[in-house]
Structure 1
Amino acid sequence: MISSDDSTGAPRKPEGKCKAMVVCFILGLGSLVSWNSMLTIGDYYYEVFPWNLATSGKGGIVAYIGILVAAACFGIAGGHVEGGMVGDLCFMCPEFIQSYLAGFAASGALTSLLRMLTKLAFEKSHNGLRKGAILFLAISTFIEFLCIFLYSICFTKLPIVKYYRSKAALEGSKTVSADLAAAGIQTKTHDHDLVGYDNKHGERLSKKQLFLENLDYAATLFLIFLVTLSIFPGFLYENTGSHQLGTWYPIVLITMYNVVDLISRYIPLVQWLKLESRKGLLIVSLSRFLLIPAFYFTAKYGDQGWMIVLTSFLALTNGYLTVCVLTVAPRGYKGPEQNALGNLLVLSLLCGICSGAILDWLWLIGKGTF
C-alpha cells in the first residue's frame, strides 16, 4: 500500500528514481535486442541468401521464408512492447523515457560489439560465419529472457512505479487497474473512445483530438525514422563499395552508428542543449532529407572516412531528436492522455520505420541485383 500525503488521497512520491532509471535502461535494451540481432548478422544473410532470388540462394527458399517469418514475429512483438512501455512511461517522469530510449540505442551498440567479437573469434575457423552468428543469437536470446523476468519481478513492483501508476489511475487511466487493485485505489470508468480531460480547456479529449493536437510531433517522429531507415542498415551493406576494411567495413559502420546513437540520447539531459520548440523539431527532421543525397554522393565519390562521419551524423540526429520529442510531447496532459499519446507517437514512429525500410529498397534500383 502506498500512503497518501494530503487530504485529496494523492499517493506520496517514494524514492528510488535512479533504480527505476537503470531498470528502464535495461528494459529498453531488451526491447530491441532481437531486432538489432537480425540487423547485425546481415553479413551472414548475405552469405547464405544472395539477392538473386531466382536461384533461391544457397540457403534455399524454405529457409529464406523462415527467416522472413521470424523477422515478422520480431516486428509484431517489438511493436507491442514499445507501444506498451512508452505509453506506460509517458505518465511517469521524463527521465524514465530517456533511459528507456537510451536502452534502445544500447541494444544496437551491444549487439554490434558482440557481433564483432563473435566474427573475430570464428573468422578463421571452418564455417566460422555460421558459428559466430549462432553464438551471437544465443547471447541475445538470453538477454531477452533476462528482461522478461526483470519486468515481471522488479519493475512493476518498484514503489516509484506504483506511485506513478496510482497517480495516473486517480486521473482516470484504465490501463493500470492491476496495480491499482494492489494499492487499494478504485478507478473511474470512461467511455471507450475518451482518454481523459484536456488540461487547456477542461473538456474531455478523444484519442482523435489528442492525435490532432500533437500531429506535428507524430509527423516529426515519422520523418525521423523514415529518413534513418531509408539509409540504415540496407544502404550501408549495399552501396558503400569496396574499401580497406573489406568485409569488416559494413560492421564498422553499423557499430559506429549504434555507439553515436547511444551517446546522442544523453545530450537532452543537458537542459540548454535540449530542443523543445515544436516547429524547430519539425524543421530539423525535414532537413534530414538532405542526408539521402549526401550518402549517395559520399558512397560514389568519398572514402571510408567520410562515410563513417556521415553515418555518425545520421545516428546523432536520430537519437537526439527522438528523445527530445518523446520527453517534451507528454507535457501538460494528465495520466490517461499521456498514456494514449505515448501509444500514438510510437505508432507514428513504427510507421516511419516501416516506410523507411520499404524505401531502403530503392537504393538497389539500377544495380542489377535482381
Structure 2
Amino acid sequence: MVSPDRAPAKLEGKYAAMVVCWLLGNGCLFSWNSMLTIEDYYVYLFPRYHPSRVLTLVYQPFALGTLAILAYHEAKINTRRRNIFGYTLFFLSTLLVLVLDLATSGKGGLVTFIGIFAISGAFGVADAHVQGGMVGDLSFMGPELIQSFLAGLAASGALTSALRLITKAAFENSRDGLRKGAIIFFTISTLFELLCVLLYAYFFPKLPIVKYYRAKAASEGSKTVSADLAAGGIQTLLKEQDEEQFQRLSNKQLLFQNIDYALDMFLIYVLTLSIFPGFLSEDTGSHSLGTWYALVLIAMYNVCDLIGRYIPLIKFLKLESRKGLMVATLSRFLLIPAFYFTAKYGDQGWMIMLTSFLGLTNGYLTVCVLTSAPRGYKGPEQNALGNLLVLFLLGGIFAGVTLDWLWLIGKGW
C-alpha cells in the first residue's frame, strides 16, 4: 500500500513532471494549431469555403459534445485510457492530413475539403478526451503542474507560429512553397503527437510526484486513477471503508458553487474566439506587411498568450479574487469596439498591439481561474470541477467561433 502521506515523494520528480506536462499541453493543441497556422495554404486551396472559419466551426461541436458526455460520466471513466485514446487520435488524425495532401498532390476541390472537414471533427473529439482529462487529472495535483500544462497549450501556438514564419521565409519564392511548408508542419506534428502518446503511457505515471498525488486521490475515493497507479507500479490496497467516507459533491453542486469561475471561462473564450483567428485572418485590410500580416498577428497573439500564462507564477501578480476575475473578464469585451475601429481606421501597429493584449489577457486569466477554482476540494471533486471548467471553456470557444461570422455582415461572401 502506498501512503498518500509520504511527504518526500511529493517533491521528487517535480521539475521532470512540469516538463512532461508542458510537452503534453503542447501535444493537446499542436496539430490543431498547425492547421490554423497554415490557414494561408488552405485559403489558397479552398478560396470559396472560408477555411479559417469553417474548420474551427466544425471542430468545436465535436469537442463540446464529446466533452459534455465525458464530463457527465467523469467519475467512472478510466483516465489513463481516455488520455491515451485522445493522444493516439491526435497522432492518427495528423498523419491522415499528411496522407491526404500527398494522395491528392496538394489539389483543392470539394472532396479534399470534406476530408479536411472530417479530420477537423476528429481533432475536436481528441481535444475533448485530452484537454478535459488532463486538466481534471492535474487539478488534484500541485498548481505548478496544471500551470505547466496550460503553458504548453499556449506554447503549441507560439511554436507553430514561429515554424510557420520560418517555412514561409524559406519557401516564399519557391514553387509550391505553401504546400512544402504545410508538409513540413504536419510531419513534425505527427512525430510530436507520437512522442506525447509514449510520454503519457510510459513515463508520466512513473514519476514519484504523480504517484503521490494519484495515491492521495485514491485515498479520497477517486476511482479514475487506479489504472494510472498500476502503470506507475503501485497497487492501492485501500481497506474496506464506509461509502459515506467517499461521498463527494455532485457535478450540479460543484457547478453551483463555482458558477462564477465557469462563466469566467466561457466569457474569456467567447471574446477571444470571436476575434481569433477568423477576424485576424480575413478582416484586417491591406497593409505594408502584405501576406505576412495575418501570420504576424497570429504569432503575436500566440506569443503573448504564452507569456500571460507565466505571469501568475509571480505571486503578487496573480489575480485570485473571484470578483476581480469577473470584472477583468467582462472588461475584455471593450476589445470588440477597439478591434472594429482599429481595423477600419488604425494602422498595423495598433492592430498588433491590440492582438498582443488579447493574447496576454487570455493566457493570464485562464491560468488564474483554473489554478484557483480547485482549491479546498477533495481529489475526485477537483477532477470533476476541472472537467466542468474545460466544458465551459469549449462552450465559450464554440460560441465565439459562431459569433465570429458576424464580422462578415455587409462584406459579402
Does TM, scored on the shorter chain, surpass 0.5?
yes
Q: 1:16 aligns with which of 13, 17, 42?
A: 13
Cα deviations by residue, 1:169-217 (Å, 9 ceiling, x for unpaired) = 00000100124454232457999xx9955xxxxxx41111011111110
Which residue is 1:324 aligned to?
Answer: 368
| Contact in 2 for aligned 1:166/1:179 (Cα 8 Å) | no
Which residue is 2:54 aligned to?
Answer: none
Cα deviations by residue, 1:246-270 (Å, 9 ceiling, x for unpaired) = 0000000000111111111110001
| Contact in 2 for aligned 1:172/1:189 (Cα 8 Å) | no
Which residue is 2:404 aligned to?
Answer: 360
Is 1:41–2:38 an aligned residue pair? Answer: yes
Tell me the secondary structure at the aligned position of residue 249 of structure 2: strand
Which residue is 1:201 aligned to?
Answer: none
Which residue is 1:218 aligned to?
Answer: 262
Cα deviations by residue, 1:273-320 (Å, 9 ceiling, x for unpaired) = 000011111121111111111101000000000000000000011000
Which residue is 2:234 aligned to?
Answer: 183
TM-score normalised to structure 2 length: 0.82
Q: 1:195 to 1:154 in 2, by over 3 A?
A: farther
Alpha-carbon distance in 2 for matches of 1:71, 1:269: 34
Q: 1:52 to 1:89 in 2, by over 3 A?
A: closer
Alpha-carbon distance in 2 for matches of 1:230, 1:186: 50
Alpha-carbon distance in 2 for matches of 1:283, 1:26: 32
- The structure 1 segments of at least 4 consecutive aligned residues displaced by more than 6 Å after TM superposition are 188-191
**Pairwise CA RMSD:** 2.1
Tell me the secondary structure at the aligned position of residue 183 of structure 1: coil
Alpha-carbon distance in 1 for matches of 2:258, 2:35: 32
Tell me the secondary structure at the aligned position of residue 265 of structure 1: helix
The alpha-carbon deviation at position 142 of structure 1 amounts to 1.2
Which protein has the bigger helix share? 2
Which residue is 2:222 aligned to?
Answer: 173
Alpha-carbon distance in 1 for matches of 2:49, 2:295: 22
Is 1:149–2:198 an aligned residue pair? Answer: yes
Alignment gaps of 5+ in structure 1: 198-203
| Contact in 1 for aligned 2:281/2:294 (Cα 8 Å) | yes
Alpha-carbon distance in 1 for matches of 2:241, 2:32: 37
Alpha-carbon distance in 2 for matches of 1:5, 1:291: 47
| Contact in 1 for aligned 2:342/2:351 (Cα 8 Å) | yes
Alignment gaps of 5+ in structure 2: 51-106
Alpha-carbon distance in 2 for matches of 1:214, 1:343: 13
Alpha-carbon distance in 1 for matches of 2:266, 2:348: 29
Alpha-carbon distance in 1 for matches of 2:356, 2:8: 44
Is 1:112–2:161 an aligned residue pair? Answer: yes
Task: Map 1:219-298 onto structure 2 (within 5 A).
Answer: 219-298=263-342
Q: 1:95 aligns with which of 125, 138, 144?
A: 144
Residue identity matched to 2:327 = I
Alpha-carbon distance in 1 for matches of 2:41, 2:241: 52
Residue identity matched to 2:312 = P
Cα deviations by residue, 1:35-68 (Å, 9 ceiling, x for unpaired) = 1011101101111111368xxxx82111111111
Alpha-carbon distance in 1 for matches of 2:217, 2:252: 20
Q: 1:196 to 1:35 in 2, by over 3 A?
A: farther
Tell me the secondary structure at the aligned position of residue 169 of structure 2: helix
Tell me the secondary structure at the aligned position of residue 240 of structure 1: coil
Alpha-carbon distance in 1 for matches of 2:157, 2:115: 23
Cα deviations by residue, 1:318-366 (Å, 9 ceiling, x for unpaired) = 0000000000000000101001100111111111111111111111111
The alpha-carbon deviation at position 125 of structure 1 amounts to 1.0
Alpha-carbon distance in 1 for matches of 2:263, 2:328: 12
Tell me the secondary structure at the aligned position of residue 13 of structure 1: helix
| Contact in 2 for aligned 1:195/1:207 (Cα 8 Å) | no
| Contact in 2 for aligned 1:196/1:337 (Cα 8 Å) | no
Residue identity matched to 2:378 = K
| Contact in 1 for aligned 2:26/2:152 (Cα 8 Å) | yes
Task: Map 1:55-66 onto structure 2 (within 5 A).
Answer: 59-66=108-115
Alpha-carbon distance in 2 for matches of 1:225, 1:190: 42
| Contact in 1 for aligned 2:312/2:318 (Cα 8 Å) | yes
Which residue is 2:96 aligned to?
Answer: none
The alpha-carbon deviation at position 14 of structure 1 amounts to 4.5
Number of aligned residue pairs: 354
Which residue is 1:27 aligned to?
Answer: 24
Which residue is 2:48 aligned to?
Answer: 51
Alpha-carbon distance in 2 for matches of 1:140, 1:329: 32
TM-score normalised to structure 1 length: 0.91
Cα deviations by residue, 1:106-152 (Å, 9 ceiling, x for unpaired) = 00000001111111111111111111111111111111111111111
The alpha-carbon deviation at position 5 of structure 1 amounts to 5.4
Alpha-carbon distance in 1 for matches of 2:386, 2:40: 35
Percentage of identical aligned residues: 69
